[in-house]
Chains A and B, each alone.
Chain A
């Protein structure tokens, strides 16, 4: 079981309020991702849940029981740190065994859990090495192994993949997702990378300056961002935001249209412009179109093998039902 509720949780460091009072419920078995730009308070929020920071106000409940004043060890949560925080002088086996040793789990049970974690995480051949002799990805897996053997009510991850190279990150992303499917344990995952959030989450919590901007499933956030911030943050490449007469014509202060919702043609369309940079990814091509009179650049996604290049004059047509309209305050106009 791992249902975590935050009620009016607030955190200040001295005079600086990092997390204004917020409410949030994390359901049992859910994969929740906190996403937001650097410094927005994601780690702080996670550490409040873990008990590594004391709340300045509000209540934290885990499975309905008050946990606000419980020390970290008593909350039944396991955390994977950005730096992995492995114990450098202990072998992988001892690292993984450490929480069980502290909990006085019987020897043979310890052994069984280590074996099964090592097997699941492909660490069997490395059990007797020190963390210093492992690659980044392997260290990451040891840190996860150390969390798994505690059989926690929920896992907390703080940007666990940010120290890995791109290829490894994709692999580990899958492994963590698979782990979640297999264990069906609550996971709270912090990242600043919206791709990680979109690919892994059941529920995304978008944070800005400690505020929750929107909570929802990846597709909900993609389809109906509640405000300009979420609209600009979720989705890659970013949504095109256009203001001025073109927006006013549609009764909005700003309109947003995603690159994949604009058709490109060499003959006719609503807007026109000149292709600046063309990014050929093979499967897709991204064009940065200039001189449209709408915004500095309009990004569009087109077919991978479309025969257009830098300097070509093109016509653009947005899908009318995919245009998001925002008012002066940046809120979505329903």
Chain B
């Protein structure tokens, strides 16, 4: 691949794929940018006049905006925290030789195959329902007042549901990373006098850092746009207590039929995602080098 000739050939070969991908990305992006500068409401037929930054102004001054922004970050941060820590512990557990290892591993992966809407519905109706839910039954069994998860702590409940969905992914990646750890390194640490905890923190955790970085980056991409779980469980409420940016865009563009405002929200979401990405790469991107 080193000669001039082969480089040129390589560029030519990958050109079709790159062009298709570029179109796939550029066209919707440009259209969204374009719509966000129009007064374009489906309830007001007629013209779609150019209004410049007016939509952005409305979006930023919307009282729900700050809440949605904070909720988005809390949702991402909370789920990452639970899945990384929980995933590491689960991986540690699954890495131990035990009876029925194959079955247990399969079961752990299962939540990942459940569709978000379905799992959110199951959680909402079978577990968290204050009257019929499993948790309510358990609470009554030990004689305490059932807790109405989705009404009292809507965002925390959604974080819990989403974390449950993503835990298998984190566990799986961290487990493979853990299995790739050279056993001689652990033995060397053992000879060097490191106890189980020291071995975990000095040898295992640094070894997992690269895999954890991958988990964080991939999950962040998906978690920034959590939608189905919110729609199915709380519909963003009570009030806007569990509304994130994606859901706010949905409220404005689809529930209020305001394409212009919705597009502006979409652009803001893109910018936020990029800011988060830059911070992430700054903080942990160096783990991916070499």
Contact = CB atoms under 8 A, between A and B. Distances in A.
Interface of A: 50, 52, 71-73, 77-79, 81-83, 85-90, 98-99, 102-103, 132, 146, 150
B37 to A, nearest CB: 49
Interface string B161-187: 000000000000000000000101101
A150 B192 contact: yes
A73 B191 CA distance: 5
B57 interface: no
For chain B, the bracket of interface size reads 10 to 19
Contacts of B95: none
A78 B184 CA distance: 13
The 10 closest A-B pairs by CB, nearest first: A99-B192, A85-B188, A102-B193, A73-B193, A85-B184, A89-B206, A81-B184, A72-B191, A85-B185, A102-B194
A172 B273 CA distance: 54
B190 A73 contact: yes
Given A81-B184, A87-B203, A89-B206, A52 B290 contact: no
B62 to A, nearest CB: 46
Nearest to A52: B187
B193 A132 contact: no
A103 B198 CA distance: 12
Given A52-B187, A79-B188, A98-B189, A85 B182 contact: yes
Nearest to A152: B191
B58 interface: no
Contacts of A79: 187-188, 191
Nearest to A71: B190
Contacts of B60: none
Contact of A102 (B187, B192, B207, B290): B192
A150 B207 CA distance: 24
B187 A98 contact: no
Contacts of B207: 88-89
A149 to B, nearest CB: 10
Secondary structure of the A contact surface, majority rule: loop
B190 A98 contact: no
Given A73-B190, A132-B290, A150-B192, A87 B202 contact: yes
A73 B192 contact: yes
Interface in B218-233: none
Contacts of A87: 185, 188-189, 202-203, 206
A81 B182 CA distance: 12
B184 A99 contact: no
A85 B193 contact: no
A199 to B, nearest CB: 26
A83 B192 contact: no
A14 B249 CA distance: 63
7 contacts: A72-B187, A73-B190, A82-B184, A90-B206, A98-B189, A102-B193, A102-B194
Nearest to A150: B192
A98 B189 CA distance: 8
A86 B198 CA distance: 16
B198 A81 contact: no
A88 B185 CA distance: 9
Nearest to B194: A102
Interface in B251-265: none
Contacts of B194: 73, 98, 102
User: Considering residues B190, B198, B206, B209, which has the most beta carbons from chain A within 10 angstroms of its beta carbon?
Assistant: B190
B190 A72 contact: yes
A33 B232 CA distance: 70
Contacts of A150: 192
Instruction: Identify which of B191, B198, B202, B209 gathers the most chain A CB atoms within 10 Å of its CB.
Output: B191
B191 A50 contact: yes
Nearest to B185: A85
A85 B187 contact: yes
B196 to A, nearest CB: 11
A79 B59 CA distance: 65
Nearest to B287: A89
Contacts of A99: 191-193
A79 B188 CA distance: 7
Given A89-B207, A98-B202, A102-B198, A146 B182 contact: no
B191 A77 contact: yes
Q: Choose among A50, A73, A82, A103 the residue with the greatest number of B CB atoms under 10 Å from its CB.
A: A73
A81 B188 contact: yes
Contact of A52 (B185, B191, B206): B191
B288 to A, nearest CB: 14
Contacts of A85: 182, 184-185, 187-188
A71 B194 CA distance: 11
Nearest to B198: A102
Residue picked from A83, A88, A98, most chain B C-beta under 10 Å: A98
A81 B193 CA distance: 16
Contacts of B206: 87, 89-90
B190 A52 contact: yes
Contacts of B192: 73, 98-99, 102, 146, 150
Nearest to B187: A52
A297 B209 CA distance: 58
Contacts of B189: 87, 98
Interface string B83-112: 000000000000000000000000000000
A35 B290 CA distance: 38
